[in-house]
Amino acid sequence: MIQRLVVTALQLAELSVSSVVHMMYGLYIFSSAVAGDLTQRLSESIFKSKTTGEVKRSTTQVNDLPPIVLVHGIFGFGKGRLGGLSYFAGAEKKDERVLVPDLGSLTSVHDRARELFYYLKGGRVDYGEDHSKACGHSQFGRFYEKGEYQEWDEDHPIHFVGHSAGAQVVRVLQQMLSDKMFDGYENTNENWVLSLTSLSGALNGTTRTYLDGISPEDGKSLKLISLLQICKLGVVMYDWLDIPWLKSYYNFGFDHFNMSWKKTGLRGLVDCLLGNAGPFASSGDWILPDLSIQGSMKLNANLKTFPNTFYFSYATKRTRKPLGMMTVPSGVMGIHPLLFIRVLQMSQWRFPPDIPLPYKGYRDEDWQDNDGALNTISMTHPRIPVEHSNLIVQSDSDCLPLQPGIWYYKIVEADHILFIVNRERAGVEFDLIYDSIFERCRKHVFRKSPQTLPNEAQQLQLGGDQEE
């Protein structure tokens, strides 16, 4: 009895600390975005730039390049949210043609894949009739008057870079394209995706979901007392209050569940909080169930690695095993305070012995290395329930010339958020990672012929002029 009380007290203490740390970090991000916006607007009002001769840039060659689409992860945001703050810490400025879509930050992988398609092609988001009925939300969502890349097809494919859950979103989207699951677009196929780069990608789930509150029994339901229950409370209240200016600044993406007080009233709020309606109901149509090992296996069972697409993965870790003994965090200073406790907990977590293991061959020790959010084994390549073709890479030059249909992966010493939000924290590693990704997309990944970059086109033109 005493032992149980002590364990419960420790769990409540850990929950309190985790809740405070996560809320403080969220407030820090939000306040930083607001402060940045206010500073920018104040500066613009004081120092109004005078109109001068503007240098016109030719966009002909730039428009010939396939876009590189950066897809954010859980709690993420795209261009236009949180003011001028960049989820990818300004990496989008490293190339002439980069798109950063704003998808639901907590919506399911399925719903985010549908949103990504219509963001690129344009039109009203269609979540699918059967899926919408099963999950209890509207079939149609946001309307994109003009797609960001309307010409997207097999002859105009796209490079995708997905961070965290964003990588799995792209995989699901590619499978939907292959299965022709978009009404009115009968010509879609898997070759619309030229390459996928997974940056700390959630390709096989994570044991952190169980630490945060997902039940390991089914990988979907929520524990009664957990961090995710607090998260659920905050999200439901946020969407129910439906404050327009606040939701335009940051949105969890659940508008298609119609949780606003204007539509559901007080009764609707109670139903959502009790789990009788909304994304946290039994259907589990939100991101965390998709990130459990069981949820990822269910997704992966229907996802292929396609022979004409190039795949790359950067798997991150912040753990080590001194003297081959216990797995522990690799340091204190190199791990973000938001993640340090979770790095330690994930390295020690064990699947409960009284419930069935998530898959045949599961071993706790395989899942101990992690980056504070995902297990390193999950980030290398799709491996459960079926392992896909893969090759570990030490140096980028080792895998040239690149072959499609193979998951090239590299293990990087970093925590889960080193390459997003705060560029200064990553230092030179930030530039090395993103320069490598963009250079590979532009110089080493193509199906027909190497693409001519804008600066190269200008040099060729200058050379021709000089010869004349």
Are the C-beta atoms of 312 and 167 separated by less than 8 Å?
no
Q: Which two tokens stand for residue 163?
A: 């961070």
In this prediction, residue 52 carries a pLDDT of 42
d(CA 144, CA 150): 11
SS3 459: helix
In this prediction, residue 11 carries a pLDDT of 63
In this prediction, residue 264 carries a pLDDT of 94
Helix axes 165-178, 293-300, angle to 10 degrees: 20
Amino acid letter, 2: I
- Burial bucket for residue 45 (CB in 10 Å: 0-12, 13-18, 19+): exposed
pLDDT tens-digit profile of 324-377? 789 999 988 889 989 999 999 999 999 999 999 999 999 999 999 999 999 999
Amino acid letter, 37: D
In this prediction, residue 55 carries a pLDDT of 39
Are the C-beta atoms of 192 and 153 separated by less than 8 Å?
yes
Q: Name residue, tokens 């999200």.
A: 235
pTM: 0.90
Distance of CA 433 to the CA centre of its chain: 17
Instruction: For CA atoms 379, 385, 390, 394, give the dihedral sign.
Output: positive
CB atoms closer than 10 angstroms to residue 265: 11
Please report how many Cα atoms fall inside a 13 Å half-sphere around the Cα of residue 198, on the Cβ side: 31
In this prediction, residue 451 carries a pLDDT of 54
SS3 313: strand
Neighbouring residues of 417: CB distance < 8 A, sequence distance ≥ 6: 336, 338, 339, 372, 373
Are the C-beta atoms of 285 and 253 separated by less than 8 Å?
no
Cα-Cα-Cα-Cα torsion 230, 232, 234, 238, nearest 10 degrees, comes to 180
d(CA 110, CA 283): 13
Full pLDDT tens readout for the chain, 468 residues: 776 676 567 667 777 777 777 777 777 777 777 777 777 777 777 766 544 444 344 444 566 789 999 999 999 999 988 888 999 999 999 999 999 999 999 999 999 999 999 999 999 999 999 999 999 999 999 999 999 999 999 999 999 999 999 999 999 999 999 999 999 999 999 999 999 999 999 999 999 999 999 999 999 999 999 999 999 999 999 999 999 999 999 999 999 999 999 999 999 999 999 999 999 998 899 999 999 999 999 999 999 999 999 999 999 999 999 987 899 999 888 899 899 999 999 999 999 999 999 999 999 999 999 999 999 999 999 999 999 999 999 887 777 788 999 999 999 999 999 999 999 999 999 999 999 999 999 987 777 655 555 444 444 344 444 444
- What backbone torsions phi and psi does residue 403 show, to the nearest 5 degrees? -120, 135
In this prediction, residue 450 carries a pLDDT of 53
Pairing of strands 140-144, 319-320: unpaired
SS3 240: helix
In this prediction, residue 397 carries a pLDDT of 78
In this prediction, residue 48 carries a pLDDT of 60
Q: Which two tokens stand for residue 2?
A: 């005493």
